[in-house]
């Protein structure tokens, strides 16, 4: 074989055809187990001199394109990403939008500094983690095409500190303030009250429609989101919240709270303010209130609480049940 300068092709004699072969490498790819596969362009000649003269002319193809972040994102979402849950796919779509400055960049050219710069604008832990997780998938795909790409590069990204604080539930007095506000004509107080008494998540109450509510059976059907357990289980309705739902159903047909997400939060926080509640209690505090009241104040068994909250496991109590110091003092006096 006649060797030429690196990447300029080669010439060899094929004993079967009894001809000289000029060849160049026009591409390569990698199998999932990272074995390289080369693709060649060849042409045969009777004389070796002709093959040597022709080999340089074989490279008429364009250089292999430099695949971008956008290219591999689409490849991922149409492949492995398509099998993920709807909520995880949505999380990755949001993460991809945070990578907008990198969409047209070649994966091969990205540095750890490029990746870390993206995270500088993300101040919370979980959104940043989704970005890193998505990039892990994209780099693995890119590395299968080009071994010069380091598939572990995203793992070097430094995430912001996870400063998830303990979510505080509503106190008994604050719950009473909401009831008094509602009875005095503040219809917006229905939102936090429904959330507290049903344990629904924000996304669930926003998709809640009148035909999902069965007041006779005292349950809500088909409102669950995210986990398979929440999707399959009905929301059980306590007697106290049924009159509130009856009031709303009489005035609505379709969505109970047909409004944008921003408007929903605006009305929720205004309802708390109008009720005289000064603490910053997010809608998620309502779900924590449901679990805490049932577990601490009502001594509901963990398995029963698991059903009411639509949890996959009773281990979720560690996250949702938040007894106060006053609760602890009452408990210690029972010793």
What per-residue confidence (pLDDT) applies to 67? 86
What's the order of all strands across the beta sheet hosting 219-220? 213-214, 219-220, 235-236
Query: What's the whole-number mean pLDDT along residues 307-325?
Result: 89
Architecture per CATH, domain 172-332, reads as: Orthogonal Bundle (1.10)
Percent pLDDT > 70 in the chain is: 90
Q: What does CATH list as the number for 69-156?
A: 1.10.150
**Would you kindly state where each structural domain of the chain is located, as residue ranges?**
2-55, 69-156, 172-332
Query: What's the whole-number mean pLDDT along residues 12-18?
Result: 89
Between 85 and 288, the higher pLDDT residue:
288
Query: Sorting pLDDT into bands at 50, 70 and 90, what band is 171?
Result: very high
pLDDT at 289 > cutoff 70: yes
What letter does residue 36 receive in the DSSP assignment?
A: E
Between 332 and 20, the higher pLDDT residue:
20
Query: Sorting pLDDT into bands at 50, 70 and 90, what band is 30?
Result: low
Within 10 Å of residue 132's Cβ, how many Cβ atoms? 19
Tokens of 41: 């362009």
Q: pTM score, two decimals? A: 0.58
Between 52 and 68, the higher pLDDT residue:
68
Long-range contacts, 27-33 (Cβ 8 Å, 24+): 27/64, 29/144, 29/145, 30/143, 30/144, 30/145, 30/146, 30/147, 31/144, 32/144
Q: Cite the beta strand spans of the chain per DSSP E.
A: 2-3, 10-14, 19-30, 36-45, 213-214, 219-220, 235-236
pLDDT at 41 > cutoff 70: yes
């Amino acid at each position: 074989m006649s060797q030429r300068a690196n990447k300029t092709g080669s010439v060899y004699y094929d004993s079967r055809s009894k001809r000289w072969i000029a060849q160049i490498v026009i591409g390569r790819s990698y199998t999932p187990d990272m074995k390289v596969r080369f693709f060649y362009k060849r042409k045969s000649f009777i004389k070796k001199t002709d093959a040597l003269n022709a080999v340089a002319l074989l490279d008429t193809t364009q250089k292999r394109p430099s695949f971008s972040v956008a290219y591999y994102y689409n490849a991922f979402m149409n492949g492995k990403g398509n099998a993920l849950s709807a909520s995880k796919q949505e999380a990755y779509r949001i993460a991809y939008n945070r990578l907008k400055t990198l969409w047209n960049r070649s994966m091969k050219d990205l540095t750890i500094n490029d990746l870390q710069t993206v995270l500088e604008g993300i101040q919370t832990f979980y959104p940043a983690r989704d970005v890193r997780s998505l990039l892990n998938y994209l780099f693995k795909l890119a590395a299968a095409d080009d071994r010069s790409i380091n598939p572990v590069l995203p793992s070097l990204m430094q995430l912001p500190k996870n400063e998830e604080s303990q979510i505080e539930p509503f106190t008994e007095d604050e719950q009473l303030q909401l009831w008094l506000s509602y009875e005095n004509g503040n219809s917006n107080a229905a939102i936090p009250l429904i959330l507290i008494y049903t344990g629904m998540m924000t996304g669930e109450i926003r998709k809640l429609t009148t035909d999902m509510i069965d007041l006779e059976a005292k349950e809500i059907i088909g409102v669950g989101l995210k986990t398979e357990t929440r999707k399959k289980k009905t929301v059980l309705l306590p007697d106290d919240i049924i009159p509130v739902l009856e009031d709303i159903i009489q005035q609505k047909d379709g969505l109970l709270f047909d409004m944008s997400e921003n408007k929903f939060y605006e009305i929720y926080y205004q309802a708390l303010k109008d009720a005289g509640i000064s603490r910053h209690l997010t809608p998620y505090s309502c779900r924590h209130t449901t679990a805490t009241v049932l577990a601490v104040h009502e001594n509901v068994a963990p398995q029963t609480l698991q059903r009411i909250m639509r949890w996959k496991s009773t281990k979720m109590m560690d996250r949702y049940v938040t007894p106060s110091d006053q609760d602890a003092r009452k408990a210690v006096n029972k010793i």
